[in-house]
Chains A and B, each alone.
Chain A
Amino acid sequence: MKLFKWEKGAALIFVFIVLITLSAIAFAFLTMVRDEITTSGAALADMQAFYIAEAGLAKARWALTEGEEAAGWGQEDISFGEGTYTLTTFDNGDDTYTITSDGYIPDDNNPVAKRRIVESDIPVTTELINFSSGAAASASSEQGANTADHANDGESSTKWKSAVNNGSWLKLAFGYSATLDRIIYTGNKIDSYTIECSEDDAVYQAVTNPVESPGGIVDFDAVSARYLMFNVNGNKPEVNELESYSIAGGASTILGRGEFITSW
């Protein structure tokens, strides 16, 4: 049995059917590609929102530490880049804080993208900062394994030991300008010492009015320093730890690392 009866003009109808089918396929394909583009556009906005939320997180960390804001502090609709962020901080009551930052593109009224970053359970401590930790240590001489970096490694069991007797020095480079008014040293065979500070590693000036208390605590007039020089005399003197502080600056709030949760 024949499906078509090839009469005059049937080819025209056949060609039309093929044409319409092809057009439908092409249209469907275009729609798919366009959707894909829209989706990737949304992904771009989403990424923008994410990094704006990160900026909010950075702001909150600044506010809680150097900004000296208490937990519970927050900000709404802060314009940033292409969007805005809103952030809240929360005291969990167990010496941990939680920071929530929402990034919006273009704003929180009609957002095309929203990303939330929560940093939860951040351990909070307030303590005097020991500037020495993290500083680069060097010395006039070192004996064997007792290298200069042992003097600021936070381990009282390790030490820096000079290879010579008098005229030895231990130097700490902070990498930034710190305000100092106290050092604490622990060591052995130190007959005498002087403390010098410098901003440029070229001109060193002795600290003024140093007063030593038991435990190797030396207080002096506040001085800003990028470099701290501890000059020691003795029979191959040793320094276990050389700590440096700013007592007048008071204790600082230190935020640890919390758990990161990001959500859309």
Chain B
Amino acid sequence: MRKGLTLIELTIVIALFSILTVAVFWSFTAGLRTWGSGKNRAAIRQDGSLAIQKMTRELSQAYSIRAANEDEITFWADAAGEEEISFVLEDTALLRKAGSIETVLTFDAQTFALSYRDLYDDVMTLPQDTASQGKRDNIRIVVISLNLNKGGEAITLSSGVYTRNQGL
């Protein structure tokens, strides 16, 4: 018996190691991919939850709605108008503006759509139904629809707010 490896033995070992490497690499990338999408999901969940919660809370305290468009709303959080707050989508960043202070609620907003219902719960036609302050005073329910997308993970969150203080 000669010492050392035959060509056949060597080939088998190389083939086995190739299979092993491919299997390990495959499971590793698959794991990495799922890890990434899990992370994105958690991120949009957290951002989306925070953004829509902040918007619904603050809008329910609105005293007077100063601008009401499809992708932007500006309102006074107090009667005097000293605290004016806006929610607006710029590119994919959903911003909350209060005076000169800008806060980013989320960087991953794909769409931010607002619609308005009047005192009879009828949907208002934009922009003519919210063109003047007198018309905006008729807004009672603000419907928010926010779509977030990060790395292929997407979610649409919708909620409605009854602006209790508006036009008492």
Number of interface residues of A (CB under 8 A): 49
Q: Is B155 among interface residues, defined by CB-CB distance under 8 A?
A: yes
Bound-state Cα–Cα, A34 to B79, Å: 51
Within the complex, the shortest CB–CB distance from B7 to chain A, in Å, comes to: 15
Report whether A26 and B16 are in contact in the complex, using a CB–CB cutoff of 8 Å: no
The stretch of B33-41, B87-95, B96-104, B123-131 that contacts the partner chain? B33-41
**Which of B12, B78, B156 is within 8 Å of A136, CB to CB?**
B78
- Give Cα A41 to B41, complex, Å: 8
A80 with B38, Cβ < 8 A, contacts A15-B16, A135-B79 known: no
The answer, yes or no, to whether B10 is at the interface (CB within 8 Å) is no
Stretch of A53-61, A154-162, A182-190, A230-238 at the chain-chain interface:
A53-61
B131: min CB distance to chain A, Å = 15
- B-side interface mostly: mixed
- Size band of the B side of the interface? 35 or more
Tell whether, in the assembled complex, residue A136 and residue B79 are in contact, meaning their CB atoms are under 8 Å apart.
Answer: yes
Find chain A residues with CB under 8 A from B119 CB. Answer: 66
**Neighbouring B residues of A55 by C-beta, 8 Å:** 143, 158-161
Complex Cα–Cα for A56 and B16 (A): 61
Chain B interfacial positions (CB closer than 8 Å to A): 12-13, 16, 19-20, 23-24, 27, 30-31, 34-35, 37-38, 41-42, 44-45, 48-49, 52, 56, 60, 63-64, 76, 78-82, 119, 121, 133-134, 137, 140-141, 143, 145, 155-162, 164-168
By a beta-carbon cutoff of 8 Å, the part of chain A in contact with chain B is 12, 15, 19, 22-23, 26-27, 29-30, 33-34, 36-37, 40-41, 43-44, 47-48, 51-52, 54-56, 58-59, 61-63, 66-67, 80-83, 129, 131, 134-136, 173-178, 199, 226, 252
